[in-house]
Chain A
Amino acid sequence: MHGILAVYLREALILKRRLKRQLAGMAVSPLLYLIAFGYAMGDSVQFGGHTYLEFLIPGLVAMSSMTQSFGISTDINVARFYWYIFEEFQAAPVSNFAYVTGEVLAGMTRALLSIGVILVLGLPFGVVLHYGPLFWLAAILNSFVFASLAVALAMLVKSHADQSLLTSFVITPMAFLGGTFFPVERLPVWAQKILFLLPLTHASNAIRAVALGEMPDWRAYLVLPLTGVAFFILALGSVNHARD
């Protein structure tokens, strides 16, 4: 437990020190999407009787929780390849489980902060959504999935450049195709089948359904924790890989 707290505290202190910059960074992309796709399109686009803004905000919540929780991989890599702070953890009597849990919790904290930023940004647009327990459960599970994936990949890559490449090939396509900006159901069946393999698609659908006052697909609440646990186990196994 002490190891988890120590690893988490380090990330939390750094987050606290950079909070203003981090919050501003978390706000930029969602604000641009809200203005460009939501406000500019206005009521001209509707999905299932909902305005595009009502459709978009839950999608942005899913996307932002993914990118921000995955962003912990950048911090881990900077600590590993540039500042060598990762070695302070390696040389300490701390288990792999404690290290991974501390970093995953730090990633999830960032994700929850980014969700708060989006909900605040949505207020001026006058959109009223439902934020019940199932909304938060889906958001937390989504953060858990991508924070775990982030730690696993951060341990496996050999350089910071490799990490950027993974973000470009894994996270960016998922952000655009995982149900953030349009309903996956509008795509051909074969494409839907592929996109339903992505955890973000399940997260977007579940978060959106709850936010719009509908019943979410229960399968999301099965797929997300199972994927998260699989990535978490991968992360545990990857920590030793980071020793040269």
Chain B
Amino acid sequence: MCMPSGPGARVRGKPMIRIDQLIKTYGSVKALDGVDLHVPAGQLFAYLGPNGAGKTTTIRILTGLTKLGGGRASLNGHDIEKDALAAKRQCGLVPQYINLDSELTVYENLDIHGRLFDMKPAVREAGINEMLTYVELRDRSDSLVKQLSGGMKRRVMVARALMHSPRILFLDEPTVGLDANIRRRIWALIKKIQQDGTTIFLTTHYIEEAEFLADRVAFLDNGRIVAVDAPLKLMAGLGKWAIDWLTDNGMQTSYFPSREAARESAAVRENGFTLRRVNLEDAFLSLTGKKVH
């Protein structure tokens, strides 16, 4: 198959996120094993891999939650270790679990965040109102967080992460556990944030999320990047259509350049089959021999 651009692919110009030979070990386990990445300003970059691949570890290191094991990283030119406070000012973080103060109101949660980022009172007030309007929760400003639904809490976390106008937004599995309707709403919000000029670094194990949102995707497996490219380029070598069918050895998949070719091949299958478009999961499978989930 056609190999997309290799691991650690570079981009031209000054990267907003620069990661060089990132290493992290937990005991004898290598969570990250020499990750190289450059993400340019304004890009929506998706980090795709199965559970335990090292996606969250990368975000945790970049946002200062986890110690760097080796290598270097910088955010908008600020080294995350040597210039940690300046690097933190560049980014907003939406972690995969809800980490709002449930005993406080939505407004109080955002107000404390604004204070942590040294926003002046008038700017803070305006920022809270603007962000709550942005995520369509202005009317819930005085609600206690524990009174909100899961989707609303996620939107409050997005508002919180954006209210200090970060250059980079880290989204760690932003739609995990949400129903399809809310997920699509969050996707629309993410697209809107990118259109407003924010660089977005997104981790996900939802194939369709990466395909729908990302300008560029990195496949991460066992702490190593196995490919980085635009979603269409990653899938290009496989064809456009696939059929899946069940055999005694499990699920088998074949790829075809056209729908007609796929149908012709499927017609000879005695057992049932599924005809579908090739997706990023296929590209991941062809490179690593495993599924994303």
Give residues of chain B (77-124) contacting chain A, Cβ–Cβ below 8 Å: 85-86, 88-89, 91, 93, 95, 97-104, 108, 112-113, 115-118
Main secondary structure on chain A at its contact with chain B?
Answer: helix
Contacting residues, chain B, for A87 (C-beta < 8 A): 65, 95, 99
CA distance A95 to B65 in the complex (A): 13
- State whether B116 touches A3 (Cβ < 8 A): yes
**CB-nearest residue of chain A to B120:** A2
- State whether A243 touches B99 (Cβ < 8 A): no
Assuming the A-B contacts A6-B116, A9-B112, are A17 and B66 also in contact, with contact meaning beta carbons closer than 8 angstroms in the complex?
no
- State whether B108 touches A13 (Cβ < 8 A): yes
**CB-nearest residue of chain A to B104:** A13
Assuming the A-B contacts A83-B99, A87-B65, are A2 and B85 also in contact, with contact meaning beta carbons closer than 8 angstroms in the complex?
no
Contact of A9 among B85, B115, B117 (CB under 8 A): B115
Contacting residues, chain A, for B118 (C-beta < 8 A): 2-3, 93
Contacting residues, chain A, for B64 (C-beta < 8 A): 90-91, 243
Least CB distance from B107 to A in Å reads 11
**CB-nearest residue of chain A to B114:** A6
Least CB distance from B77 to A in Å reads 15
Contacting residues, chain A, for B184 (C-beta < 8 A): none
**CB-nearest residue of chain B to A88:** B99
**CB-nearest residue of chain A to B161:** A91
Q: Which of A3, A90, A93 has the most CB of B within 10 A?
A: A93
Contact of A243 among B67, B86, B112 (CB under 8 A): B67
CA distance A82 to B108 in the complex (A): 20
Give residues of chain A (1-47) contacting chain B, Cβ–Cβ below 8 Å: 2-3, 5-7, 9-10, 13-14, 17-18
- State whether A17 touches B93 (Cβ < 8 A): no
Size class of A's contact patch? 20 to 34
- State whether A84 touches B95 (Cβ < 8 A): yes
- Flag whether A182 is at the interface (Cβ < 8 A): no
Contact of B101 among A5, A7, A83, A240 (CB under 8 A): A83
Least CB distance from A84 to B in Å reads 4
CA distance A9 to B101 in the complex (A): 12
- Flag whether B76 is at the interface (Cβ < 8 A): no
CA distance A88 to B100 in the complex (A): 9
CA distance A3 to B118 in the complex (A): 8
- Flag whether A177 is at the interface (Cβ < 8 A): no
Contacting residues, chain B, for A89 (C-beta < 8 A): 116
- Flag whether B63 is at the interface (Cβ < 8 A): yes
Assuming the A-B contacts A17-B104, A83-B102, A93-B85, are A2 and B66 also in contact, with contact meaning beta carbons closer than 8 angstroms in the complex?
no
- State whether A6 touches B95 (Cβ < 8 A): no
Contact with B along A195-221 (1 / 0, CB 8 A): 000000000000000000000000000
Pair count A-B, CB < 8 A: 74
Contacting residues, chain A, for B104 (C-beta < 8 A): 10, 13-14, 17
Contacting residues, chain B, for A240 (C-beta < 8 A): 67
- State whether A10 touches B101 (Cβ < 8 A): yes
Least CB distance from A137 to B in Å reads 30
Contacting residues, chain B, for A10 (C-beta < 8 A): 101, 104, 112
CA distance A92 to B110 in the complex (A): 13
Contacting residues, chain B, for A85 (C-beta < 8 A): 99-101
Give residues of chain A (73-125) contacting chain B, Cβ–Cβ below 8 Å: 83-85, 87-95
Assuming the A-B contacts A14-B101, A83-B101, A87-B95, are A243 and B65 also in contact, with contact meaning beta carbons closer than 8 angstroms in the complex?
yes
Contact of A94 among B63, B103, B116 (CB under 8 A): B116
Contacting residues, chain B, for A9 (C-beta < 8 A): 112, 115
Least CB distance from A98 to B in Å reads 9
Contacting residues, chain A, for B112 (C-beta < 8 A): 6, 9-10, 13, 88
CA distance A3 to B85 in the complex (A): 12
Give residues of chain B (145-189) contacting chain A, Cβ–Cβ below 8 Å: none
Contacting residues, chain A, for B115 (C-beta < 8 A): 2, 5-6, 9
Contact of A91 among B63, B98, B101, B108 (CB under 8 A): B63
**CB-nearest residue of chain B to A84:** B99
- State whether A14 touches B85 (Cβ < 8 A): no
Contacting residues, chain B, for A243 (C-beta < 8 A): 64-67
**CB-nearest residue of chain A to B97:** A84
Assuming the A-B contacts A93-B88, A243-B67, A244-B66, are A17 and B116 also in contact, with contact meaning beta carbons closer than 8 angstroms in the complex?
no
- 13 contacts across the A-B interface (CB closer than 8 A): A13-B104, A13-B108, A14-B101, A17-B103, A83-B102, A90-B64, A91-B64, A91-B65, A91-B93, A92-B113, A93-B86, A93-B89, A244-B26
19 more CB-based (< 8 A) A-B contacts, given A9-B115, A243-B67: A2-B118, A5-B115, A10-B101, A10-B104, A14-B101, A14-B104, A17-B103, A83-B99, A83-B102, A87-B65, A91-B65, A91-B93, A93-B85, A93-B86, A93-B89, A94-B85, A95-B85, A244-B65, A244-B66
Measuring CB to CB, which residues of chain B are less than 8 angstroms from any residue of chain A?
26, 60, 63-67, 85-86, 88-89, 91, 93, 95, 97-104, 108, 112-113, 115-118
